[in-house]
Amino acid sequence: MSERIYIFDTTLRDGEQSPGASMNTAEKLRVATQLEKLGVDILEVGFPATSEGDFEAVSAISGKIRNAQIAALARANIPDIDRAWEAIKDAAYPRIHTVIATSDLHLKYKLNMTREEVIQRSVEAVKHAKKFTDNIEFSAEDGSRSDRDYLCKVFEAAIEAGASTINLPDTVGYAVPEEFAELIKYVRVHTPNIHKAIFSVHCHNDLGLATANTLAAIVAGARQAEVTINGIGERAGNASMEEVVMAINTRPNYFPMTTGIKTEYFYPTSRLVSMITGIQVQPNKAIVGANAFAHESGIHQDGVLKNPMTYEIMKPETIGLNTNKMVLGKHSGRHALRAHLNDMGYVLSAEELDKLFIKFKELADRKKHVLDEDLEVLVAEGLLQTKDVFSLEYLNVIAGTTVLPMASVKLIINERSVQGAGYGNGPIDAAFNTISRLTGTTSELMRFSVSSLSGGTDSQGEVTVRLKENGLEAMGRGADPDIITASTKAYINGLNRLEYLKAHPLKISESAIEE
């Protein structure tokens, strides 16, 4: 009988620590709902002690998600743990996840604590958490660079105190698969009470080995994998959920295990996370990248036509790539739109569908055919936004080879209409300059990228920007058949995200919550 691997998703916690990837509460709720539909076992949805905004988001998700466990991160101290419990107490299956560093490097330079003091702090933290719940996870930050025997002592003490899951993170992505697997085996053998807890791993991708290390750990005996959608996360990111799960599904001869993941929701979930965070998925990304099932070589094309298995080790349908050829256009009705959205993995309420249908009709009047990529954008833009500080009401640009580029812009700023015009090196620069002056913002444009959502001259252009202001960074994205309008939407979206970050400042440094 196959053993069960528990999937612990930390897209909403570690994933959100990607530079500029902060999400508001409405966006987190939408992603959490999609992850629940995907079938994840545990959702780590935030670190409540960091800010009031994070606390509110964790609380909101805890009250809505009913099928998955809801985990909140806390450092190994009483205030953090109390705050975490307050945020998740209404969850159907709450979990407190407490963490402390165990490597000598971290003990000396970050914690300024002795090994015995760390053990004592770990035990106190777990015992305090146990006053609220028996579902406690304990993590040894920088575990892969910790002394093996000391790591075993820490885990033994945490389990004895009441931890039901112990987690060994490769915090800085330093491990290699064979070495990491050996460490897992060593800890399992030399921790006397290890059988009383589920063994988890949390791998980072600094050397591009996060997925490989996670799979090696599973073979060595780990039974919980901590992952994120698209592999987003701190620095180079985390182990990618879709890669770990599809490796298990595709190679049952090597991984005689199962997960509870409904893989057909991978692609729509990947797209949703990408659109909300503004972090594009690289085309050659495994499983969900645009080129993952594309074949340009004549030899490959010939083989796939004769038998897809010649060059495809999994069917596109298994990850949710839509094969429904129904064409949506301006004559399509609500029922056709709802059915198509359901096939894509989006189940909307009647109110949400009504809002989306209006946007759909507006787009259908501008495009002959509305594609899946277009619908994904409408879902993100129409259903995920909260009340923004800035919104675009009107844009007009003049540009050409014989005129100075000029933009006329009308904005709604906190429900007040303002308008103005300005010049620039090009139409987009002119629009950005005008918006900056109208909003009174001084953000620096760190990155600007443009891509096409699909083929064809009427395709929507997708623009992603990264803005920086007073040490804060935020992503912005926008999509529209007109690339100048898409760029303006992305810029305004980025400004709104910066406003959100200003209103919800972190109380502690991000480095303090890495795993």
pLDDT tens column, 333-358: 888 888 888 777 677 788 888 888 88
Q: Mean pLDDT lowest for which of 329-333, 391-395, 485-489?
A: 329-333
Do 22 and 467 contact (CB within 8 A), yes or no? Answer: no
* Burial bucket for residue 264 (CB in 10 Å: 0-12, 13-18, 19+): middle
Mean pLDDT (whole number) for 107-125: 97
CA dist list (Å): 102 to 8, 25, 310, 398: 22, 33, 47, 60
Mean pLDDT (whole number) for 304-311: 62
DSSP 266-331: HHHHHHHHHHHH--PPPTT-TTTSTTTT---SHHHHHHHHH-GGGT-SS-GGGGT-----PPB-TT
Q: Is the pLDDT of residue 327 over 80?
A: no
Determine the pLDDT at residue 309: 65
How much is the CA Rg of the chain, to the nearest whole Å?
Answer: 24
Q: Is the pLDDT of residue 20 over 70?
A: no
Give the count of alpha carbons within 13 A of 326, CB side only: 17
Q: Which of 201, 162, 158 is nearest to 6 (CA)?
A: 201
Q: Is the pLDDT of residue 507 over 70?
A: no
Do 475 and 466 contact (CB within 8 A), yes or no? Answer: yes
Domains of the chain, each with CATH number or no CATH: 3-285 (3.20.20.70), 317-383 (no CATH), 390-503 (3.30.160.270)
Tell me: the pLDDT tens digits for 404-438?
A: 999 999 999 998 999 999 999 999 999 999 999 99
Q: Which of 180, 271, 197, 226 is nearest to 41 (CA)?
A: 226
Highest mean pLDDT among 243-247, 361-365, 497-501: 243-247
Q: Is the pLDDT of residue 63 over 60?
A: yes
Q: Is the pLDDT of residue 26 over 90?
A: no
Would residue 307 be called left, alpha or beta, if left means φ above 0 and alpha means ψ between -120 and 50 degrees? beta
Determine the pLDDT at residue 306: 64
Highest mean pLDDT among 32-46, 290-304, 309-323, 369-383: 32-46
Do 42 and 9 contact (CB within 8 A), yes or no? Answer: yes
CA dist list (Å): 21 to 235, 325, 489: 12, 34, 17
Q: Is the pLDDT of residue 513 over 80?
A: no
Give me the chain's average pLDDT, please: 89
Determine the pLDDT at residue 393: 94
Question: To 10 degrees, the CA torsion angle through 452, 456, 459, 461?
Answer: 30
Look up tokens 């796939």; give the residue. Answer: 304
Q: Is the pLDDT of residue 379 over 80?
A: no
DSSP 60-86: HHHHH--SSEEEEEEESSHHHHHHHHH
Mean pLDDT (whole number) for 299-320: 68
Determine the pLDDT at residue 182: 98
Q: Is the pLDDT of residue 97 over 50?
A: yes
CA angle 73, 79, 82 (to 5 degrees): 65
Task: Name the percent of the chain lying above pLDDT 90.
Answer: 63
Tell me: the pLDDT tens digits for 134-191?
A: 999 999 999 999 999 999 999 999 999 999 999 999 999 999 999 999 999 999 999 9
Q: What is the spatial distance between Cα 219 and Cα 256, in angstroms, rounded to a whole number?
A: 9
Do 54 and 28 contact (CB within 8 A), yes or no? Answer: no
Question: What amino acid is encoded at 174 in this protein?
Answer: Y
